[in-house]
Amino acid sequence: MTNHWVDIKNADVVLIMGGNAAEAHPCGFKWVTEAKAHNNAYFMVVDPRFNRSASVADYYAPIRSGSDITFLGAIINYLLTNDKIHHEYVHNYTDFSFIVREDFRFEDGIFSGYNEEKRTYDKSTWEYELGPDGYVRTDPTLRHPRCVYQLLKKHYAHYTPEAVERVCGTPKDKFLHVAETLASTAVAGRAATIMYALGWTQHSIGAQILRCGAMVQLLLGNIGVAGGGMNALRGHSNIQGLTDLGLLTSSLTGYLSLANEAEQDYTAYIAKRTKKPLRPGQVSYWQHYPKFHVSLMKSWYGDKATKENNWAYDYLPKLDRPYDMLQIFELMNEGKVNGYLAQGFNPIASLSNSHRVRNGLAKLKFLVIMDPLATETSEFWRNFGEYNDVDTASIQTEVFRLPATCFAEEDGSIVSSSRVLQWHWKAAEPPGEARPDIQIMSELHHRMKAMYEKEGGVFPDPIRDLDWSHYYNPEDPTPEELAKEYNGWAIADVVDPKDPHKVLRKAGQQLGALGELRDDGSTASGCWIWVGCWTEEGNQMGRRDNSDPTGIGNTLKWAWAWPANRRVLYNTASTDLKGKPFNPKRMLVQWDGQKWSGPDIPDMTPTLAPESGAGPFIMNPEGVARFFSRGLMAEGTFPTHYEAFDNPLGYNPMYPNNPKAVSSPAARVFGSIWDTFGSPKEYPHVGTTYRLTEHFHYWTKHALINAALQPEQFVEIGEALANEMGIRQGDHVKVSSKRGYIKAVAVVTKRIRPMQIDGKTIHHVGIPIHWGFKGMTRPGFLANTLTPFVGDGNSFTPEFKTFLVKVEKI
Ligand SMILES: Nc1nc2c(c(=O)[nH]1)N[C@H]1C(S)=C(S)[C@@H](COP(=O)(O)OP(=O)(O)OC[C@H]3O[C@@H](n4cnc5c(=O)[nH]c(N)nc54)[C@H](O)[C@@H]3O)O[C@H]1N2
Ligand SMILES: Nc1nc2c(c(=O)[nH]1)N[C@H]1C(S)=C(S)[C@@H](COP(=O)(O)OP(=O)(O)OC[C@H]3O[C@@H](n4cnc5c(=O)[nH]c(N)nc54)[C@H](O)[C@@H]3O)O[C@H]1N2
Ligand SMILES: [Mo]
């Protein structure tokens, strides 16, 4: 979230699109209720289904699954052509006036630099034009044909309300109502929040849908203000913590990035990430990358990371490709993976195309499951009849189960969607042989280390040299010790760069602020964005003072938020060029003549005056927010409509003449997958998967009460389709895709209606995800038997939300 849960109460307009917070985030959803009750907020839902959020909304508009970029692009077009933008904000705080390189092109759905064979882009033309001084050239009059504003206008010119009706199936008047309501927040005194989750992310163009939403918010001046923002409703209670800690194969902690194979040279690796300002006077916070990186390496390798060995840079893997989930299981299918450790992960249930996942697991030599439960994955080799129809004798994989505890059985911290790190305390002893993940991982670590020490090996150094000596018992670190390590400490005295006699932090002390990090080896920090979570003043995550002096909801003394305890990111964008709040009633920060201050922690160097010209988007080297994403995204600089890979139309209705631009030209799709996509002739309906309040994924079915509440797989079918097929409430149906089939009880509903898409009738089929062949619910199929093994080109998230199915009555 750019903002936070409580801040939603400050919104004047709430749009939930691509999520179903009332169902999947019922506790957080109370802040929507709060906004309605106390701020007279207007609440809208745009979703293929009239879902539980829609049932309590002021307005609902239907949309065809997978078509959100057309909808959002049309909002951008609407705001530009009707001049409903926050001018002062957009002109000063975005790249509107920036000039783009002359050789940049977008033609008929494809950007310049496309390599059709490799399905990737050479992105060198996707850049601003630089002047001789190294800064981006701009045209504040916005008349230059290659300024971002002009390019943006051109890109979305044919994203019209008529196109929305034709491509998304949303009636024109409903689209216009949503657009007009959002537009009412383009003024200084009003704000809209956008809340989204998987209905946006789980598409082959998911990341671009989010960008498009963010662009709408920028035009309205809704980023960095109270009651605004792009608010990602995150999933597992600590999934924000997972990404913060870089538990993705191409990340290091705190969103630092691992090097790729071509980056063997440390100086070049660092130089590329140490972003110099692209406009005069900008903060460009990534200039400090070396401090974050060196401090991380010091926390891992201690004395073994030195200036002479480039802080142990050679110990880090250099990737030949990203090892996302789809890639790993593709390699497994190719027989190229020996062993796999699934820690709190049930891939046969949760990854797309379950049969493909199962085939991959069957080619392993060994599989380790660290989980409190006996999951489907841990028994993928066992025959469960039709539900898991395998030949056990042919599977050689050796499976080990290491019983783990769950959150209530250990101390630790959880990072919420609000970026708030909150400490929790153990409530119960774990049963049986279950042990905390930290203990299991530590023991594995020590045994591996011992083996490397005894036997050598090709390259034992990166494991052998890991420094665990700062734990009281290096065999068994505690959650408290890990938390202190993430925060970091001073290895030597940290002094003020302007006055070497002034010691800011004494050797051995916990660091107190980001400004204390150093790139000379004198500080260690396991996760730079968390500096401040456990200081000399103690565990900040354990704080429980909910006082809120201004009533804005920031509660700066409740737990601790990264970065720097800031609750709303980019918050100086809520002020004008003099540092005066656009909306004094909902002030977050202001320039008081000497410094930035207010009920939030300013997202700016505290004493840097607005007159300096430093823009509020300090993480961007240009200091402003981008409409033109430069080389950052896989598919292009402006979000563009592409169809899902299981494509209900067979063409792209926004670019009908270009066969290259049907589905995302840069998606995560392997050569072996193409014949696993279905055609609308055979599979005419759009299937979409989602969750229910009564279950959490695949684990609550192991609990009797939840199992009793939702005992059995069902699918939701609209009345029109049900009538057509002679299906009645409670009938059993078979739902098939090109990948396989499931059987389920039919729930016939008014909440899913047929849509007219480019002259064709499209029905959605709703498929909740929670059942399987283990647990206390009725044994059943895995919903992911149906879903395609293809993903977004940036995040590699599978396309769980739009695929083709057919339905038959059994
Ligand atoms: N009770 C419960 N709560 C949970 C979970 C759980 O399993 N059970 N899981 C947690 C996790 S890990 C996550 S990630 C979150 C997910 O939270 P959500 O994303 O809110 O949950 P979903 O039910 O997957 O999907 C949300 C909505 O997206 C809609 N949708 C599908 N396709 C499209 C589309 O193309 N466009 C638009 N606009 N909407 C579309 C669906 O109809 C659905 O209403 O929930 C978390 N909360
Ligand atoms: N078709 C379809 N598929 C989806 C989705 C969808 O919307 N549609 N959503 C996707 C999303 S957003 C997500 S997040 C994934 C979820 O996919 P998974 O993460 O694979 O599923 P879960 O069942 O949430 O959790 C996995 C296991 O973690 C275990 N666990 C709980 N606590 C602990 C602990 O402290 N330590 C350890 N070691 N284990 C623990 C649980 O017992 C459980 O078996 O599913 C994805 N799959
Ligand atoms: Mo999730």
Q: In this structure, how many other beta carbons lie within 10 angstroms of the beta carbon of residue 418?
A: 21
Q: Is the CB of 68 under 6 A from ligand 1?
A: yes
Give the pLDDT confidence of 20-59 residue by residue, as tens digits. Answer: 999 999 999 999 999 999 999 999 999 999 999 999 999 9
State phi, psi for 739 to the nearest 5 degrees.
-95, -20
Q: What is the pLDDT of residue 198?
A: 98
Long-range contacts made by residues 340-344, C-beta under 8 angstroms, separation at least 24?
A: 340/364, 340/366, 340/367, 340/368, 341/367, 341/368, 341/370, 342/367, 342/368, 342/369, 342/370, 342/371, 342/377, 343/370, 343/371, 343/404, 343/437, 344/370, 344/371, 344/404, 344/437
Mutation pick for ligand 1 pocket among 5, 17, 20 (CB with most ligand atoms within 8 Å)? 20
Helix (H, G, I), strand (E, B) or coil at 59: strand
Using CA of residue 472, residue 477, residue 480, residue 481, what is the dihedral sign?
Answer: positive
| Bridge pairing between strands 114-115 and 120-121 | antiparallel
Q: What is the pLDDT of residue 670?
A: 97
Separation of 691 CA from ligand 1 center, angstroms? 6
| Domains of the chain, earliest start first | 1-99+136-236+567-633 (3.40.228.10), 241-319+478-540 (no CATH), 678-809 (2.40.40.20)
Residues in the ligand 2 pocket, defined by CB under 6 Å: 198, 202, 235-236, 343-346, 350, 370-373, 375, 404-407, 437, 689-690, 697-699, 769, 783-784, 787, 800
The closest alpha carbon to 503, from 492, 513, 514, 518, belongs to 492
Longest dimension (CA), the chain: 84
Q: What is the pLDDT of residue 350?
A: 98
Helix (H, G, I), strand (E, B) or coil at 660: helix
Q: What is the pLDDT of residue 249?
A: 86
DSSP type of residue 435: B
Measured by CA distance, the residue closest to atom 40 of ligand 2 is: 344
The closest alpha carbon to 295, from 534, 564, 527, 508, belongs to 527
The closest alpha carbon to 50, from 800, 715, 803, 753, belongs to 753
State phi, psi for 136 to the nearest 5 degrees.
-65, 140
CA 177 – CA 172 distance, rounded (Å): 9
Write the DSSP assignment of 75-140 as a string of letters. Answer: HHHHHHHTT-S-HHHHHHHBSTTBBBPTT--EETTEETTEETTTTEE--TTSSBPB-TTSSBPB-T
Give the pLDDT confidence of 637-687 residue by residue, as tens digits. Answer: 999 999 999 999 999 999 999 999 999 999 999 999 999 999 999 999 999
Q: Over the chain, what is the mean pLDDT?
A: 97
DSSP type of residue 267: H
> What are 283's strand-pairing partners?
none
**Regions of the chain where pLDDT drops below 70:** none
CA distances from 399 to 362, 374, 586 (A): 10, 12, 56
Mutation pick for ligand 1 pocket among 346, 690, 777 (CB with most ligand atoms within 8 Å)? 690
Provide the percentage of residues in the chain whose pLDDT is more than 90.
Answer: 99
Cβ contact 628:150 at 8 Å: no
Alpha helices, DSSP H, located in 431-539? 437-455, 461-464, 479-487
Work out which ligand 1 atom sits closest to the CA atom of 49.
42
Cβ contact 640:208 at 8 Å: yes
Write the DSSP assignment of 311-377 as a string of letters. Answer: GGGGGS--BSS---HHHHHHHHHTT---EEEEES--HHHHSS-HHHHHHHHTT-SEEEEEESS--TG
Q: Is the CB of 206 under 6 A from ligand 1?
A: no
Is cis: bond before 436, omega within 30 of 0? no
CA 150 – CA 157 distance, rounded (Å): 10
Cβ contact 171:762 at 8 Å: no
Q: Which residues contact 49 (CB under 8 A, 6 or more apart)?
A: 688, 690, 716, 751, 752, 764, 766
Separation of 659 CA from ligand 3 center, angstroms? 33
Q: Is the CB of 416 under 6 A from ligand 1?
A: no
Separation of 723 CA from ligand 3 center, angstroms? 34
Q: Is the CB of 48 under 6 A from ligand 1?
A: yes
* Helices 68-81, 172-183: crossing angle, 10 deg rounding: 60
Q: What is the pLDDT of residue 440?
A: 97
Write the DSSP assignment of 232-243 as a string of letters. Answer: E--SSTTHHHHH
Helix (H, G, I), strand (E, B) or coil at 421: strand
| Cα angle 115-121-126, degrees, rounded to a multiple of 5 | 135
Q: Report the amino acid identity of residue 676.
A: T
Q: What is the pLDDT of residue 10?
A: 98
Q: Is the CB of 66 under 6 A from ligand 1?
A: yes
Separation of 235 CA from ligand 3 center, angstroms? 4
Cα dihedral: 666, 671, 676, 681 (round 10): 60
DSSP type of residue 309: T
